[in-house]
Amino acid sequence: MNKTELKEFLDTKVDQYNNPKFIESDPLQIPHIFTKKEDIEIAGFLTATIAWGNRKSIINNAKRLMVLLDNAPHDFIINHDETDLEKLNGFVHRTFNGDDAIQFVKSLKHIYLNHGGLESVFTKHTEHNSMQPAISKFKSIFFEIDHLPRTQKHISDPLKNSAAKRINMYLRWMVRNDQRGVDFGIWNNLSPSQLSCPLDVHSGNVARKLGLLKRKQNDGKALNELDLQLRKLDAEDPVKYDFALFGLGVFENF
What per-residue confidence (pLDDT) applies to 253?
86
Taking only the tens place, the pLDDT of each residue in 110-125 is 999 999 999 999 999 9
| Sign of the CA dihedral with 133 first, then 138, 141, and 146 last | negative
Where exactly are the structural domains of the chain? Answer: 3-250
Residue 128 has pLDDT above 80, yes or no: no
Which pLDDT belongs to residue 134?
96
What is the percentage of the chain residues whose pLDDT exceeds 90? Answer: 95
Displacement of CA 186 from its chain's centroid (Å)? 14
**Residue 51: closest CA among 140, 211, 164, 184:** 164
Tell me which residue of 104, 222, 82 sits closest to 153, measured CA to CA.
104
Q: What is the pTM of this model?
A: 0.96
Q: What is the pLDDT of residues 15-59, one digit of tens each?
A: 999 999 989 999 999 999 999 999 999 999 999 999 999 999 999
